[in-house]
Amino acid sequence: MSGNRTGIVHWFDINSGEGAIIDGQDGMSYYVHYSAIKSKDKFKKLNKGELVEFKLYENLYMRQVDEVWATKKTKKRKPEARA
């Protein structure tokens, strides 16, 4: 899958290094691993409610985030997952 998407961090556990991002286009929740975070910071993490841009890829089991980075807009929003 290609193209940048915008979404909101639904949750991120710094101990396990994984979390979920809610896509602003389709409202779906996608898995994210800390290794996908593009940041110059030594300790990579995402904050709940943070507005981010990301790319998706699809493997045999699921679609998940391939790359994620903070948007230039730093406004936090309340994440809303689709049922």
- Over pLDDT 90: what percentage of the chain? 57
> For the segment 23-52, what is each residue's pLDDT rounded down to a tens digit?
998 999 999 999 999 988 888 899 999 999
- Asked if the structure places residue 82 within a domain, the reply is no
Find where tokens 């910071």 sit: 41
> For the segment 49-76, what is each residue's pLDDT rounded down to a tens digit?
999 999 998 888 888 899 999 887 555 5
* pTM as predicted: 0.78
Residue 48 burial by Cβ neighbours in a 10 Å radius (0-12, 13-18, 19+): middle
- Asked if the structure places residue 23 within a domain, the reply is yes
Q: How far apart are CA 81 and CA 61, in angstroms?
A: 20
Neighbour count for residue 53 (Cβ, 10 Å): 18
Question: Token digits for 44?
Answer: 């990579």
- Asked if the structure places residue 59 within a domain, the reply is yes
Q: How far apart are CA 82 and CA 6, in angstroms?
A: 16
- Asked if the structure places residue 16 within a domain, the reply is yes
Domain count, the chain: 1
Q: How far apart are CA 37 and CA 17, in angstroms?
A: 10
Residue 61, domain CATH: 2.40.50.140
pLDDT at 2: 55
Supply the range of the domain harboring residue 24: 5-70
